Structure 1
Amino acid sequence: MIREFSLKNAIGNTWNLNDLESFLTEPDGLGFEYDVDYQQIGNIFIKLQDDMKQKEPSGQIKFATYEKYREFCLFIQHKPLVMEYITPAGNFLMDVSIDKLEKSELETGGLFCNIKLLGLSTFYKIVRAENDGSMVAGKIYPYSYNYRYSDYSQGAVEFDCDSVLESAVKLTILGPCTNPSWTHYLNGVVASVGKVNCTIKDGNRLIVDNTKIPFEIAEYDSTGTFVQNLYQNSDFSTDRFVTLGFGSNKISFAHEGENAISLIAEGKIIYESV
């Protein structure tokens, strides 16, 4: 299996970079590098800073015609962009912006145009789990990828995380619910808890999301329309936001209402390189 690349723009269109009319060659900048500072104390070095440097994926796109080049330029105007990288190990995403796109003259074989991207994130994949509260067996299936079934307790979901990097989670708790709360277990040990003091009516949903900046605790209706900010209603004695760790992650949910609670969790598992 060869590596494949594509871009998705802000209006949901996808550009295939493996097409013969716009083929990406010589991909580079897919690894990682850290910016590390140390302080020396005698013969010992103390780490002061350890940050991953921004990724700069690059390559050369062979456009078949000037018209294809112009189509691509119009496509990338709709920002932000997401690069999908398909490998034998799976499908991975990276939020990117275009740093540079060169334009060559048409020659035999097409236009050979160098491109440089800037990573607005590192590599990640989105996994999705849900439990409607009416069954012991909950489904796990990806936002995009690996589809599997697993057994859960009612009101709980589970993820296996294969990365040591802290990975954020978007929680969606469906109404009706009253004062929902949750507990995150990492390898069987309580890692965090959260609670929001609110009442979500039937058809609406509570979103608790640290996969984006700024973090969000808010109510939305069934169409995805924002209803109200509930950050101030959260229990500040709790952690509120969930971060997946390496190994087995279980998130159990409860609320103070009588009905079974329904929920969706989307984990954003991040990687240094893939």
Structure 2
Amino acid sequence: MKQLNWCWRLLATAFSFVLFALGALLLAILLAPLIRLLPWPEQRRRQLARRSIQRWVRFYVWIMCALGLLTVEFEGEAALSQSGVLVVANHPTLLDAILLMAVMPNATFIMKAAMARNPFTCWIVSLAGYIPNDEVGVELVEKAAAALRSGETLMIFPEGTRTDGDELKLKRGAANIALAAACPLLPVVIDCQPMTLRKGEPWYHIPPAKPHFSLRVLPLIALDEVVDKSQPPGLQARTLTAALRDVLQGRQG
């Protein structure tokens, strides 16, 4: 029975990858042109694109759960709807962004640059106003900070890529954005047991049991509780990055 279950999950995983690509393609081919033609302000069209993405992704997660590929548990999900906050999370698996998109209908995501170049996703990513992470550092920080100052919720993985190993290696981009926007950070700790779809791991490496994803929203981190504003900006970013790493690593918070 264990072998049969493993074979089923292998086939269902292959199906889910194909389904995601087809769904993204349909959004790009059918939805994106229609939204662009609507005589609405850009912000309203962007919100429609994001809600459409969120509904598709939520349905996609439901399908994966129904197929027996995974289970998902959220703790503190309501806090993710706050405006003007920078949501930061660790990034253990390939599915992390999808799981967060499923519960964040109007957030600006800082996306992996490959998503903005992928023919399946580039149109809808552009229409939703997501920010690719390959922009020049200063431009990326300013664009992200401007979104936060306008009241949007911004989501970023401070590692910049999936976790490689047990120790989190955070870049300073998230700290620089929070400092530029003078906004609080909302940490989310993502755990997956048993682990699957890690960095460098092929999709067909199926874990021995169905993975369980746990996403736990922690209390807000206020800048004035962590950094000394009299210090140079570089030192402030370094201090905030270290504090954020400790929180996401479970050493405090």
What is the TM-score with the length of structure 2 in the denominator? 0.29
**Which protein is richer in strand relative to its size?**
1
Structure with the greater relative contact order (CA < 8 A, sep ≥ 6): 1 or 2? Answer: 2
Larger radius of gyration: 1
What is the TM-score with the length of structure 1 in the denominator? 0.28
**Which protein is richer in helix relative to its size?**
2
